[in-house]
Amino acid sequence: MGEDAMQAAQMEAAKKVIISKILDKAAAERLGRVRLANAMLASQLELYLIQLYQSGQMKETIDDEKLKQILGLLTETKKTRIMRR
């Protein structure tokens, strides 16, 4: 295994440890389902959660409801209205 691959594997393992600390069981299951449906969104969500954790903004574990709220924030799109004259 190359040095880059080993470094990537270590980073992935560290990410999994942090995610397992901050999500409860139901939220972790939801993250797994999101990963199956949309891997890019799951990666964004993981990075967002890790940033919150590392910056100290996260005080308690995240439950399923809170994870749904965060997902809603990440997937929120601007609604555009077309006005006709």
Mean pLDDT of 19-27: 93
Structural domains in the chain, sorted by start: 3-74 (1.10.8.140)
How far from 25 is each of 21, 29, 55, 84, CA to CA, in Å? Answer: 10, 6, 23, 49
**pLDDT tens string 31-85:** 999 999 999 999 999 999 999 888 988 888 999 999 999 999 888 765 666 777 7
What lies within 8 Å, CB to CB, of 15 at 6+ separation is: 46, 50
Phi, psi of 30 (to 5 degrees): -65, -40
Which amino acid, 44?
Q
Would you say the pTM of this structure is higher than 0.85? no
Q: Residue 78: what pLDDT?
A: 58
